[in-house]
């Protein structure tokens, strides 16, 4: 962040009235409202290489999906592909339209769940998030039992391990959930007053449905091919990774658009402020799908996986206790992941939205901002991203279960295959609805790090609660540092004496 974009701030807020000083450990910054999403900012195309890679990947995968689906549509081997696959594929009878309705059901249920989330965002969102946290473990355990009952031992063990890890993670962060729910409640309150961002989520959900129509057509063709188990699963994994990347890109486009809008609302003191730039939503969408699109494609490849790994390692690390050997190994992984987080974090999308930087520059600036102000201690304590991910996974599991049950009735041998791919579809559709809350969370933290008085002006009570929790976390870290230094001094003294 350049000096023209941030400067040292006094305890004077934008309305001209005196405001309380920032909390201990937080450096107050002020933001020039001219440096925002507006036509005056000179923006350039960023990460063009990844834009080309993503678009090329879409064209290639779209062609493959069309060929695979059409080859078995209404007629076996319509495109005469089987003669090239004899000997290593099991070319058994099966048609695309046998399985395509199963994916249509999955897309329909996923869309309905996403829209229900958006409709209940104002009144029941907090309750839905609490349900996600507490129900997910049980749901995973039930699916594990059903898989064992259907003699699917691998998937039964996989879901059982998932249920155990989810239970351990919730137990490890149970003391953080009250603060997490406070942050989520405030974020919901913020986006509830921006109905246009919910419209953006609906639009991109429809865009995703159009791609899913082609994707499920091709996947149904793959299932109908009756390839040998190894080849069939490899095809499904490759196409599922493609869908995951595509879904992540669409989610992060919404993330950038919503983050930009929330950031502007907080900076300018409201959506109706006279200082708001003209057509902020349209400008944000335009930048997200053009000049910043390459950065979004690049970041979407890595951020979700690294963030999930970081949460799990944090949960495990907090439960190890005094096992020095295990703690050393986990600490090594923890610091490795923390290094990756510096270059791949969701807060980069706010910087992309506001300043039009490339992804790595945005991620590095966001993380350095948090560390230089002390807000990183608060970000590390918050579990809002994990709670929203639980809701997304739960939605995907519901979709996968519905499709899997139907497949069990009609095509028992294809139950796991259909259920797992349908679950991915459901997660993406529900995630497109939930991402608007996560965008508000990231914007709140960025604004709090830039200038705490922005949050104070928006919601003084929430500002006081955040400041109090940050003060507690900084004190906790200081005490841990003193404890480590005291232990080190003691060991040094013993070595000298010996």
Using alpha carbons only, what angle is made at residue 6 by residues 2 and 9, rounded to the nearest 5 degrees?
155
What are the beta bridge partners of residue 313?
none
Q: Which of 85-89, 251-255, 424-428 has the lowest mean pLDDT?
A: 85-89
- Those residues whose C-beta lies under 8 Å from the C-beta of residue 7, and which sit 6 or more positions away, are 29, 30, 32
Mean pLDDT of the chain: 80
The DSSP H or E segment spanning 29 is strand 29-31
In tens, the pLDDT along 183-214 reads 998 998 888 888 888 889 999 999 999 999 99
Chain centroid offset of residue 249 CA:
10
For 230-236, what is the mean pLDDT?
A: 78
Percent of the chain at pLDDT exceeding 90: 31
User: What is the dihedral sign for C-alpha 76, 230, 209, 401?
Assistant: positive
In tens, the pLDDT along 272-301 reads 777 778 888 888 899 899 999 999 998 888
Q: Considering the entire predicted model, what is its pTM?
A: 0.82
Using DSSP, state whether 284 is helix, strand or coil.
helix
Q: What is the pLDDT of residue 64?
A: 92
């Amino acid at each position: 962040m350049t000096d023209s974009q941030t400067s040292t701030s006094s305890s004077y807020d934008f309305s001209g009235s005196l405001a309380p000083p920032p909390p201990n450990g937080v450096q107050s910054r002020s933001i020039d409202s001219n440096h925002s999403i507006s036509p005056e900012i000179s923006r350039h195309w960023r990460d063009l290489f990844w834009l080309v890679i993503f678009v090329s990947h879409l064209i290639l995968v779209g062609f493959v999906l069309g060929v695979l689906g059409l080859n078995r549509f209404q007629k076996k081997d319509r495109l005469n592909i089987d003669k090239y696959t004899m000997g290593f594929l099991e070319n058994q009878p099966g048609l695309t339209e046998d399985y395509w309705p199963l994916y249509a059901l999955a897309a329909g249920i996923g869309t309905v769940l996403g829209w229900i989330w958006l409709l209940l965002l104002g009144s029941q969102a907090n309750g839905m998030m609490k349900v996600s946290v507490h129900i997910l473990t049980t749901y995973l355990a039930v699916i594990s039992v059903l898989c064992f009952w259907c003699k699917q031992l691998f998937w039964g063990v996989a879901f059982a391990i998932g249920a155990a890890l989810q239970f351990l993670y919730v137990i490890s962060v149970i003391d953080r959930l009250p603060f997490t729910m406070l942050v989520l409640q405030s974020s919901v309150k913020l986006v509830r007053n921006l109905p246009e961002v919910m419209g953006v989520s609906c639009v991109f959900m429809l865009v995703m449905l159009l791609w899913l129509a082609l994707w499920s057509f091709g996947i149904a063709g793959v299932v109908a091919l009756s390839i040998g188990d190894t080849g069939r699963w490899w095809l499904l994994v490759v196409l599922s990774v493609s869908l995951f990347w595509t879904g992540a890109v669409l989610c992060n486009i919404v993330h950038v658009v919503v983050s930009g809008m929330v950031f502007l609302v907080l900076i300018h003191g409201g959506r109706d402020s006279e200082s708001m730039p003209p057509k902020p939503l349209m400008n944000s969408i335009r930048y997200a799908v053009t000049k910043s699109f390459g950065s979004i494609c690049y970041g979407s490849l890595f951020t979700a996986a690294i963030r999930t790994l970081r949460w799990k390692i944090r949960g495990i690390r907090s439960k190890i206790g005094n096992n020095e050997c295990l703690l050393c190994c986990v600490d090594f992984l923890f610091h490795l992941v923390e290094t990756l987080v510096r270059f791949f974090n969701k807060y980069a999308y706010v910087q992309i939205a506001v300043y039009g930087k490339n992804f790595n520059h945005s991620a590095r600036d966001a993380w350095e901002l948090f560390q230089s102000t002390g807000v990183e201690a608060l970000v590390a304590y918050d579990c809002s991203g994990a709670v929203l991910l639980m809701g997304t996974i739960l939605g995907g599991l519901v979709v996968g279960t519905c499709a899997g049950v139907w497949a069990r009735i009609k095509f028992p041998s294809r139950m796991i295959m259909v259920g797992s791919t349908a679950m991915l579809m459901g997660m993406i559709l529900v995630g497109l609805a939930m991402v608007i809350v996560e965008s508000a969370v990231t914007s709140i933290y960025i604004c709090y790090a830039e200038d705490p008085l922005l949050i104070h002006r928006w919601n003084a009570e929430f500002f006081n609660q955040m400041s109090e929790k940050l003060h507690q976390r900084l004190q906790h870290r200081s005490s841990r540092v003193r404890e480590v230094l005291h232990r080190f001094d003691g060991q040094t003294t013993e070595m000298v004496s010996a």
